[in-house]
Amino acid sequence: MLSVLIPCRNEVRFLARCLDSVLASDYPQERMEVLVIDGASSDGTGELIARYAASDRRVRRIENPDLVTPCALNRGIAAASGDVIARLDAHSSLAPDYLTLCVAHLLSSGADNVGGAMRTVAQDDGLWAPVIVAALSHRFGVGNSHFRTGSTRPRFVDTVFGGCWRREVFARVGGFNPALRRSQDMEFSLRLKAAGGRTLLVPDARCDYYARTRLAAFCRHNFINGEWAILPFVYSDVVPVRARHLIPGLFALLLIATVVMLPWSPWPLAAVGGSYLMANLAASASIAWRERRPLAAVLLPVVFGALHLGYGLGSLWGVILAAGEVRGRQMNDLVRSSEEIPCIRRQY
């Protein structure tokens, strides 16, 4: 049995497309269930799930009063009856053979987690939409994130979009970290790797992901993602991210440092800023040429800058938030310890 988990909250705009793609899968109907874990949606998502559940016995709604994704996933795992568990995002839609390919490779490869290649698709039309999609699919934009940039062959990687696991993995490694509002999939994959597990990317298994393509929303999303490149360090027992997640923060810090040095010398800023600008322009020109879209050569440098600097500044803010969280924990531990010492208990 395959259990497909779809955590969601206020996703009425995208969920129907996701469910339609799952239910149209060529995976045997009698061996699949679809659990939609709803975090108290108020936009009609609950009613939409109820309509699907009424028309297809494979669909079931589960409440998630905690409202956050890792708790939704853990509730779904607990309620699932399958010996194989797949996780999808409400913003995604699958090729008909996606689940079949993932399960087949999971059973034949010895991998503990299998996922496919993700094609980034624009949520909205507009001037910025095609260039944001291009930036999120290019190595200069997202580094060595192979599920985004693609692969010519199946390969073992650090993480994949969504995932398809044997159920016993969760008994061995534990569930998703409930403290991580974001980055819980990466942290889980790295916990799995630390326990000796392997994650396989299967490029023939294809899905679409509908990304934010309005510039303001894109910038805000990058900043928040940057925060969550750092905050997992507070809540995880493993190194919860990869080097590619930390590079934008280091770049932003270096850029700020060279700006501070301007009164003494402009050359550090020229070296750092100039090197980045040349790389940015080269990547932008390459994409514009490949896609025969001259305007992209003008817009892409802005998008790459918004991606890297937005993420980087978010990471620096994440350092501040993480330091505050660690300090708060230390103070709580100190208070608890002092309450156990009679001579200190009432002296403050």
pLDDT at 12 over 90: yes
Q: Does domain 2-212 sit in CATH 3.90.960.10?
A: no
The percentage of the chain sitting over the pLDDT mark of 70, rounded to a whole number, equals 94
Give the pLDDT mean for 282-288: 97
Q: What is the mean pLDDT of the chain?
A: 92
Alpha helices in the chain (DSSP H): 15-23, 45-55, 69-79, 98-109, 129-135, 139-142, 146-149, 168-173, 184-194, 215-227, 232-235, 243-260, 267-290, 296-339
Hunting for tokens 């899968």 — which residue is that?
25
φ and ψ at residue 299, rounded to 5 degrees: -85, -35
Please, are residues 278 and 223 in contact by the beta-carbon 8 Å criterion? no
Adjacent-strand bridge partners of 3: 33, 85
Q: Which of 152, 142, 129, 138 is nearest to 285 (CA)?
A: 138
Tell me the pLDDT band of 150, cut-offs 50, 70 and 90: confident
The tokens for 114 are: 């299998």
Tell me the pLDDT band of 55, cut-offs 50, 70 and 90: very high
Query: Each residue of 210-230: pLDDT tens digit?
Result: 999 999 999 999 999 999 999
Give the pLDDT mean for 9-18: 96
The one-letter amino acid at 5: L
pLDDT at 348 over 70: no
Give the pLDDT mean for 159-188: 94
Please, are residues 324 and 231 in contact by the beta-carbon 8 Å criterion? no
Kindly state the greatest CA–CA separation across the chain: 77
Give the pLDDT mean for 335-340: 48
pLDDT at 327 over 80: no
Q: Which of 144, 151, 143, 97 is nearest to 119 (CA)?
A: 151
pLDDT reported for residue 244: 92
Give the pLDDT mean for 102-110: 95
Please, are residues 212 and 306 in contact by the beta-carbon 8 Å criterion? no
Q: Which of 259, 250, 258 is nearest to 318 (CA)?
A: 250
How many Å apart are CA 78 and CA 228, to the nearest integer? Answer: 26
How many Å apart are CA 71 and CA 76, to the nearest integer? Answer: 8
Give the pLDDT mean for 196-204: 96
Domain locations in the chain?
2-212, 243-339
pLDDT at 156 over 70: yes
The tokens for 161 are: 């979009």
Higher pLDDT, 162 or 267: 267
Residue/partner pairs of 133-139 with CB below 8 Å, 24 or more apart: 133/211, 133/213, 134/287, 134/291, 134/296, 134/300, 134/303, 135/300, 135/303, 135/304, 135/307, 136/211, 136/307, 138/283, 138/287
Give the pLDDT mean for 337-347: 40
Give the pLDDT mean for 4-8: 98
Give the pLDDT mean for 116-122: 95
Please, are residues 64 and 71 in contact by the beta-carbon 8 Å criterion? yes
pLDDT reported for residue 343: 37
Query: Each residue of 290-304: pLDDT tens digit?
Result: 999 999 999 999 999
pLDDT reported for residue 325: 84
Contacts of 96 (CB under 8 A, 6+ apart): 21, 24, 25, 26
pLDDT at 64 over 60: yes
- DSSP string over 16-52: HHHHHHHHT-SS-GGGEEEEEEE----SSHHHHHHHH
Contacts of 5 (CB under 8 A, 6+ apart): 35, 37, 72, 73, 76, 77, 80, 85, 86, 87, 88
Q: Is 40 left (phi over 0), alpha (psi -120 to 50) or beta?
A: left
pLDDT reported for residue 330: 59
The tokens for 289 are: 């040429």
pLDDT reported for residue 338: 43
pLDDT at 192 over 90: yes
Give the pLDDT mean for 259-272: 95
Tell me the pLDDT band of 329, cut-offs 50, 70 and 90: low
